[in-house]
Amino acid sequence: MNDQYKAAVTVAEMSRMVGLSRARFYQLIGSAFPEPSRDENGRPYFGEEQQRLCIEVRRRNCGADGKPVLFYAPRGTASLTTRSHRRARGRKVSDNRYSGILDGVKALGHTTATTQQVAAAVEQSFPGGADGVDPGEVIRAVFLSIRCQNSTDKLCR
């Protein structure tokens, strides 16, 4: 007797064991996968032999009815990292941490301010971080910092 199989598992657990969503697993019951047994209350379950058969169907891509079954590769971290690499290469990802501050600085009249300038000004004005500081005070400090960087006024220096 193999320890990897339980005496009985639910349909949800069986779908996880074969790496499919419950919805897709339910679609394939009766054709690719065997019908589950039912307990005295009518609740479906898979016994040890049915579990072995389901695992074998998934491994061989051959249904319980003898017909070939094609399964998509399971979604995993590889596909997610591929998407994030595509996004990073394809277009510039904006830094949302400073979008509110940038909007405030632009509303005060510095319409050419960039996210990089705002990030540098926040770091310079608040070396310990701006968390817990009033947002109006942060916008004011960043606006003055950027204005002084771009100014020839001797008072800013």
| 34: CATH | 1.10.1660.10
How sure is the predictor about 91, in pLDDT bands with cuts at 50, 70 and 90?
A: very low
Count of domains forming the chain: 2
The answer to whether residue 83 is domain-embedded is: no
The answer to whether residue 90 is domain-embedded is: no
- pTM for the full model? 0.46
The answer to whether residue 102 is domain-embedded is: yes
* Same domain as 100, residue 55: no
| 37 touches 45 (CB < 8 A) | yes
Distance CA 142, CA 122 (A): 6
Q: Stretch 76-96: mean pLDDT, rounded?
A: 51
Distance CA 13, CA 38 (A): 15
| 106 touches 97 (CB < 8 A) | no
The answer to whether residue 154 is domain-embedded is: no
Cα–Cα separations (whole angstroms), residue 141 to 66, 80, 124, 125, 133: 72, 38, 10, 7, 11
Distance CA 50, CA 27 (A): 17
**Does residue 150 register a pLDDT over 90?**
no
| 2 touches 43 (CB < 8 A) | no
Convert the pLDDT of each residue in 32-84 to its tens digit. 999 999 999 999 999 999 999 999 999 999 998 889 988 877 665 444 444 55
Query: Virtual CA dihedral for 74, 78, 81, 87, nearest 10 degrees?
Result: -70
DSSP alpha helix (H) spans, the chain? 11-17, 22-28, 48-60, 77-90, 99-107, 115-125, 135-149
The answer to whether residue 47 is domain-embedded is: yes
Q: What confidence score (pLDDT) does residue 113 get?
A: 87
**Could you tell me the residue range of the domain that residue 44 belongs to?**
8-60
